[in-house]
Amino acid sequence: MKYQELFPIPVEWIEEVDESIVATVGGWAEREVVSGRLEHREDYDAFLLPAIRKLFVDIGCQAMPWPEKSGGGGLSSPGAAVTFAVVLEQVSSADTGTGFLLANTFSLQSAFGVEPHRDGKLLDDLAPVFCGDREAVCSLVLPAYGDGSGDKGFHGLDYQVAATQKNGQWVMDAKAARPQCSGATARFLGVAFGLEDGAPAVALVPSDTAGLSAGEPFKKTGLAASINADLEFNSVPVPEKHIVLTGADRYRELLSWYYMCCSAVCSGAMLTSYEILKEWGDTRVIKGKGQVFKENPLVAALMGEIGGRTATSRILTYDLARMLSRPDVYGPAGGQAIYATATAVFKQVSRAVMLSINNAMELMASAGYATEWNLERYWRDVKTIETYVVPETAALTDMARHYFDLKRL
């Protein structure tokens, strides 16, 4: 497996199908992303969208949990978590923004495409879309910080979308709901909302549903692959069969998968950041001393820190994926222990990536900020992910709630 000789993970968790996917996605990365990066920079229409389409549709990443009879990959067991991690790490090492789109897509699919929650009827209904010839990016619409006036929320965060049950279906309303990614281009949204008792639920909402509209795409510093925009829900109807989960345990399960997927995205970004720094260190000589840059003791010490963080972040990510893949051993993904672990892993890995890229930029001086070296792009992408995925205080409080048995928060 790629990087195994440098930053090993337990290979008994990686199956033959995972190795095959690594080779396929690696070829996609080289042909569709790496070879055209300097020419196209971050052009969405000419560069990123064709690459996304080939990854999602031609390679079939968007259909991985769908049955093989429908043209999908047949990944139905919780063991899909390890495969998702392998794919996301490989994709994100080429383009972190594309990896983030795939992380949202995989995470939402985990709620209805992976046992024991596999919904065969819903999978059959949506097979023509996800196994079709157009990209079907998914995006989550999660609770966020609010003004505190609402009576419905989850662990201190307000639901962005309100829903009421009418005539056997749900009706959704919101003025400016911000999705995690691709608000202007996603085909499906996983919308979190509160039930009558405030318990969380998530609905699968096609973006072309009547009453749902996207605002103008807004400017971002990172994630060029995500054309994001705020969403307006104006009495958007959602049939009962599209409520893919209800209850705190199921919602925490979705978040555990999401945090694992985003950790794999950050791990992929870290691996390429390591490669950029290594190339710099191999080819630079300290002026006046004739000494190779990386052989300086101070430089070596900082590089050692970066390498160590890369190794441990990768191990943490795959450890978490393994836990999700074996609920019979580690307990359900929505249990407090696994959910707190998933939160901790994502925060640890994303922080480690940011710190390592910051260190690399210090070592590379002005070249670290130069667009042709691409390091600054990985910094922007990971920083945006770190900000979007889970608010800092909410994440820390979630961990304290489990580890220290908080009673009021």
Residue 198 pLDDT exceeds 60:
yes
Residue 149 pLDDT exceeds 60:
no
Domains assigned to the chain? 11-135 (1.10.540.10), 140-246 (2.40.110.10), 248-403 (1.20.140.10)
How much is the average pLDDT of 75-86?
96
Residues 391 and 157 sit within 8 Å (Cβ to Cβ) = yes
**Closest of 218, 223, 180, 262 to residue 380, by C-alpha:** 223
pLDDT range class, residue 1, cuts 50, 70, 90: low
In this predicted structure, what is the pLDDT of residue 177?
97
In this predicted structure, what is the pLDDT of residue 384?
96
> 95-127, pLDDT tens digit by residue?
999 999 999 999 999 999 999 999 999 999 999
In this predicted structure, what is the pLDDT of residue 105?
98
Q: Which residue has the higher pLDDT, 206 or 41?
A: 206
**Closest of 395, 405, 350, 399 to residue 145, by C-alpha:** 395
> 322-375, pLDDT tens digit by residue?
999 999 999 999 999 999 999 999 999 999 999 999 999 999 988 788 877 889
> 283-305, pLDDT tens digit by residue?
877 666 667 778 888 889 999 99
Share of the chain above pLDDT 70, in %: 96
In this predicted structure, what is the pLDDT of residue 298?
87
> 332-345, pLDDT tens digit by residue?
999 999 999 999 99
> 4-29, pLDDT tens digit by residue?
888 999 888 888 888 898 899 999 99
Mean pLDDT score of the chain = 93
In this predicted structure, what is the pLDDT of residue 150?
54
Question: Where are any strands of DSSP class E within 228-377?
Answer: 231-239, 243-246, 285-286, 291-292
Contacts with 314 (C-beta within 8 Å, 6 or more apart), sequence order: 3, 7, 9, 89, 267, 270, 271
How much is the average pLDDT of 369-387?
91
How much is the average pLDDT of 153-167?
93
In this predicted structure, what is the pLDDT of residue 148?
59
Residue 299 dihedral angles phi and psi, to the nearest 5°: -65, -45
Q: What is the pTM assigned to this prediction?
A: 0.96
Residue 233 pLDDT exceeds 60:
yes
